[in-house]
């Protein structure tokens, strides 16, 4: 049995979706976790976590997801990596700047 998300969880979902639609396309680089490990970005993962677990039970997994992004971000930020990553035949441009 699934319960409806709380107003706070819906607010977090809307905020992350806004970030994905407005901020992320303009920032000029992709999520380091997605570049290093595969198809899902941290923002997408956090949205799924909050939908599945709710806001309070999703805090720790969300923080762990963002922490998992730290290592590839650190590694990629020490270089001037630019290019296109093909994920399942879909070219995904990315860039990391110092």
Give the HSE-up count for residue 87: Cα atoms under 13 Å, Cβ half-sphere. Answer: 13
Count of beta carbons in the 10 Å neighbourhood of residue 60? 11
- Residue 1: inside a domain, yes or no? no
- Both tokens of 92, joined, read 């995904």
- Residue 2: inside a domain, yes or no? no
- Residue 68: inside a domain, yes or no? yes
State phi, psi for 85 to the nearest 5 degrees. Answer: -105, 125
Give the HSE-up count for residue 94: Cα atoms under 13 Å, Cβ half-sphere. Answer: 22
How far apart CA 18 and CA 75 sit, in angstroms, is 28
- Residue 82: inside a domain, yes or no? yes
Specify the pLDDT at position 83: 55
- Both tokens of 77, joined, read 């930020």
Give me the chain's average pLDDT, please: 81
Range of the domain at 19: 7-95
- The per-residue pLDDT for range 40-86, each reduced to its tens digit, is 999 999 999 999 999 999 999 999 998 998 888 887 777 665 554 54
- Residue 36: inside a domain, yes or no? yes
How far apart CA 27 and CA 24 sit, in angstroms, is 5
Q: Which of 5-9, 25-29, 76-80, 84-88 has the lowest mean pLDDT?
A: 84-88
pTM of the model: 0.71
Q: How many domains does the chain have?
A: 1
């Amino acid at each position: 049995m699934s319960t409806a998300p709380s107003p706070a969880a819906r607010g977090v979902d809307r905020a992350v979706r806004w970030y994905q639609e407005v901020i992320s396309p303009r920032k000029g680089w992709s999520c380091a976790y997605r570049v290093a490990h595969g198809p899902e970005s941290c923002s997408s993962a956090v949205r799924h976590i909050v939908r599945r677990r709710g806001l309070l039970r999703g805090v720790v997994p969300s923080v762990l997801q963002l922490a998992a992004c730290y290592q590839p971000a650190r590694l990629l930020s020490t270089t001037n990596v630019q290019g296109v990553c093909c994920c399942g035949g879909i070219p995904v441009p990315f860039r990391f700047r110092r």
